[in-house]
Amino acid sequence: MRRFLWLVPLVLVFAVAAQADEGMWLFSDPPKDMLKKKYNFDEPQSWYDHVRMSSVRFPSGSGSFVSADGLVMTNHHVGVSAIQRLSGLANLKIKNPKDRVDYVRDGFHAKTLAEELQVSGMELLTLVDITDVTARVKGAAAKEMKPEEAFAAKRAEIAKISAEATKGKEYRGDVVTLYQGNKYHLYKYKRHTDVRLVFAPEQQIAFYGGDPANFAYPRYDLDCCFFRVYENGKPAQAKHYLTWSKDGVSENDLVFVSGHPGHTDRLNTVADLEYNRDIRYPAMLQRLNRLEVLYTIYSMISADHERKAKDALFSVANSRKAIYWGLSGLQDASIMNKKKAQEKALRDAVAKNADLKDLGPAWKTVEAVQKVRAANAKRFNLLEGGQGFNTTLFAYARTIVRAADELAKPDAERLTGFNDSAIPTLKFGLEAKRAIDKDFEITKLGDSLGFLVEQLGAKDALVQKVLAGKSPNVRAFDLINGSKLHDADYRKELFEGGKKAVDASKDPMILLAKAIDADARKVRKELETKYQEPNEGAYDKIAQAKFAIEGAGTYPDATFTLRLAYGPVKGYLEDNKKIPFQTTFEGLYATAEQDKNRPPFDLPKRWIDNKAKLNLKTPFNFVCTADIIGGNSGSPVVNRKGEVVGLIFDGNIQSLVWDFVYTDVQGRAVAVNSQAIPEALRAIYDAGDVADEVVNGRRK
Amino acid sequence: MRRFLWLVPLVLVFAVAAQADEGMWLFSDPPKDMLKKKYNFDEPQSWYDHVRMSSVRFPSGSGSFVSADGLVMTNHHVGVSAIQRLSGLANLKIKNPKDRVDYVRDGFHAKTLAEELQVSGMELLTLVDITDVTARVKGAAAKEMKPEEAFAAKRAEIAKISAEATKGKEYRGDVVTLYQGNKYHLYKYKRHTDVRLVFAPEQQIAFYGGDPANFAYPRYDLDCCFFRVYENGKPAQAKHYLTWSKDGVSENDLVFVSGHPGHTDRLNTVADLEYNRDIRYPAMLQRLNRLEVLYTIYSMISADHERKAKDALFSVANSRKAIYWGLSGLQDASIMNKKKAQEKALRDAVAKNADLKDLGPAWKTVEAVQKVRAANAKRFNLLEGGQGFNTTLFAYARTIVRAADELAKPDAERLTGFNDSAIPTLKFGLEAKRAIDKDFEITKLGDSLGFLVEQLGAKDALVQKVLAGKSPNVRAFDLINGSKLHDADYRKELFEGGKKAVDASKDPMILLAKAIDADARKVRKELETKYQEPNEGAYDKIAQAKFAIEGAGTYPDATFTLRLAYGPVKGYLEDNKKIPFQTTFEGLYATAEQDKNRPPFDLPKRWIDNKAKLNLKTPFNFVCTADIIGGNSGSPVVNRKGEVVGLIFDGNIQSLVWDFVYTDVQGRAVAVNSQAIPEALRAIYDAGDVADEVVNGRRK
ipTM of the complex: 0.95
Distance of CA B634 to the CA centre of its chain: 10
For residues B561 and B24, give the distance between their C-alpha atoms in angstroms, rounded to a whole number. 10
Does residue B454 sit in the same domain as residue B378? yes
Q: What DSSP character marks residue B530?
A: I
- Nearest chain B CA: its distance from A228 CA (Å): 35
pLDDT score of B246: 87
Judge: A332–B292 Cβ closer than 8 Å, yes or no. no
* A102-107 long-range Cβ contacts below 8 angstroms, 24+ apart: A102/A303, A102/A307, A103/A197, A103/A200, A104/A80, A104/A200, A104/A203, A104/A307, A104/A310, A104/A311, A105/A202, A105/A203, A105/A204, A105/A307, A105/A310, A106/A202, A107/A200, A107/A201, A107/A202, A107/A604, A107/A606, A107/A685
Residue B328 has its nearest CB partner, among A324, A331, A450, at A450
DSSP B136-172: HHHHHS-TT--HHHHHHHHHHHHHHHHHHH--TTTEE
Same domain, B79 and B197: yes
Q: End of a domain among B521, B547, B573?
A: B547
Mean pLDDT by groups of 10 residues along chain B of 700 residues: 49 52 95 96 97 97 98 98 96 89 97 97 97 96 90 94 87 94 96 98 97 95 98 97 96 98 96 97 98 97 94 96 95 94 96 96 98 97 97 98 97 95 95 94 97 97 96 96 97 97 98 98 97 95 94 90 98 92 98 93 98 98 97 98 98 93 94 98 98 96
Q: Residue B243 class from Cβ within 10 Å (0-12 exposed, 13-18 middle, 19+ buried)?
A: middle
Indicate whether B617 belongs to any domain: yes
- Nearest to residue A102, comparing CAs of A299, A325, A355, A359? A299
Instruction: Identify how many contiguous H helices and E strands chain B contains and give both numbers.
Output: 25, 21
Instruction: Assess B250–A contact: CB distance below 8 Å, yes or no.
Output: no
Structural contact between residues A636 and A647, judged by C-beta atoms closer than 8 angstroms: yes
The pLDDT of residue A246 is 87
Cα–Cα distance for residue pair A594/B97, rounded to 1 Å: 11
According to DSSP, the residues that pair with B255 across neighbouring strands are: B567
Count CA atoms within 13 Å of residue B229 on its CB side.
Answer: 32
Say whether both B406 and B497 belong to one domain: yes
Residue range(s) defining the domain that contains residue B307: 266-353
Per the CB < 8 A criterion, the answer to whether A292 and A313 are in contact is: yes
- The CA distances from residue B360 to A93, A505, B273, B343, in Å, are 66, 51, 19, 12
| A residues 442..481 contacting B (CB < 8 A) | 442-443, 446, 450, 453-454, 457-458, 464, 467, 469-474, 477-478
Residue of A nearest to B465 (CA): A333
Q: How far is B327 from chain A (nearest CA, A)?
A: 8
pLDDT in tens, A523-568: 999 999 999 999 999 999 999 999 999 887 889 999 999 999 999 9
**Residue ranges of chain A whose pLDDT lies below 70:** 1-19
∠ Cα B290 B294 B297 (to 5°): 135
- Beta carbons of A693 and A67 less than 8 angstroms apart: yes
Closest CA to B396 of B284, B508, B477: B508
Tell whether B274 lies on the interface with A, counting CB pairs under 8 A: yes
What are phi and psi for residue A573, nearest 5 degrees?
-100, 135
The answer to whether residue B552 is domain-embedded is no
Residue B327: list chain A partners with CB under 8 A: 450, 454
What pLDDT, on a 0 to 100 scale, did the predictor assign at position A11? 52
Answer yes or no: do B538 and B574 share one domain.
no
Which of B296, B332, B450 minimises the CB distance to A327?
B450
Q: Are B315 and B77 in contact (CB under 8 A)?
A: no
Alpha carbons A450 and B329: distance in angstroms, whole number:
10
**Nearest-CA distance B480 → chain A (Å):** 11
CATH code, A247:
2.40.10.120
Residue A573 CB burial class (10 angstroms; 0-12, 13-18, ≥19): exposed
Q: Which of A90, A92, A61, A95 is nearest to A78 (CA)?
A: A61
Residues B368 and B425 in one domain: yes
Total residues belonging to chain A? 700
Cα A90 to Cα A102: distance, rounded to the nearest angstrom: 9
Q: Do A404 and A365 have their domain in common?
A: yes
A362-379 helix and A438-456 helix, angle to the nearest 10 degrees: 120
Pairwise CA distance, residues A561 & A540, whole Å: 19
Same domain, residue pair A692 and A643: yes
| Disruptive mutation site among A208, A474, A653 for chain B (greatest number of B CBs within 10 Å) | A474
Q: Give the orientation angle of helix A488-504 with respect to helix A423-431, to 10 degrees.
A: 110
* Residues A157 and A70 both lie in one domain: no
Is A553 contained in some domain? no
**Interface with A, mutate which of B302, B391, B473, B661 (most A CBs under 10 A):** B473
A454 vs B282, B320, B334: nearest CB? B282
pLDDT of residue B1: 40
Please check whether residues B197 and B299 belong to one and the same domain.
no
Alpha helices in A415-561 (DSSP H): 423-431, 438-456, 461-467, 472-482, 488-504, 508-527, 533-550
- Least CA distance to A305: which residue of chain B? B4
Residue A554, in any domain of the structure: no
**Chain A 182-221, CB below 8 Å of chain B: which residues?**
210-212
Residue B553 resides in a domain: no
In a shared domain, residues A465 and A521: yes
* A318 and A416 belong to one structural domain: no
Q: Do A290 and B292 touch (CB under 8 A)?
A: no
Q: Are strands A669-673 and B254-259 parallel, antiparallel or unpaired?
A: unpaired
For residue A636, give the DSSP letter: E
**Distance (Å, rounded) from C-alpha B591 to C-alpha B584?**
11
Residue B557 maps to a domain = no
Q: Which of A6, A211, A293 sits opposite B320 (nearest CB)?
A: A293
Contact in structure between A554 and A605 (CB atoms under 8 Å): no
From A547, A580, A607, give the residue that closes a domain.
A547
Contacts of B292 in chain A (CB under 8 A): 289, 293
Which residue among B328, B442, B471 sits closest to A10, beta carbon to beta carbon?
B471
Q: In 10 A of CB B238, how many CB atoms?
A: 24
Answer for the pair A172, A125: CB distance below 8 angstroms, yes or no: yes
Tally of domains within chain B: 3
Strand partners, B188: B129, B173
Residue A75 is assigned to a structural domain of this protein: yes
* B168 located within any domain: yes
B595 touches A at CB < 8 Å: yes
Among candidates B211, B293, B454 on the partner chain, residue whose Cβ is nearest the Cβ of A320: B293
Q: Give the CA radius of gyration of chain B.
A: 25
Whether A129 has its CB under 8 Å from any CB of chain B: the answer is no
**Which residue in A30, A557, A20, A554 sits closest to A258, CA to CA?**
A30
d(Cα A564, Cα B686) in Å, to the nearest integer?
A: 67
Which chain A residue has its CA at the smallest distance from B594's CA? A302
Q: Is B11 on the interface with A (CB under 8 A)?
A: yes
Amino acid type, B145: M
pTM of the model as a whole? 0.96
- Report which of B114, B393, B58 is spatially closest to residue B259, judged by C-alpha positions: B58
Is the CB of residue B277 less than 8 Å away from at least one CB of chain A? yes
Q: Is the minimum CB–CB distance between A295 and chain B shorter than 8 Å? A: no
Give the distance, in angstroms, between the CA of residue B118 and the centroid of all CA atoms in the same chain: 22
Contact of B245 with B639, CB cutoff 8 Å? yes
pLDDT of residue A15: 44
Of A294, A318, A353, at which residue does a domain stop? A353
Residues 6+ apart with CB under 8 A from A681: A199, A687, A688, A690, A691, A694
Question: Both B406 and B500 in a single domain?
Answer: yes
Residues B613/B224, Cβ–Cβ less than 8 Å: no
CB-based contact B162:B174 (threshold 8 Å): yes
Strands (E), A206-322: 225-231, 234-235, 254-259
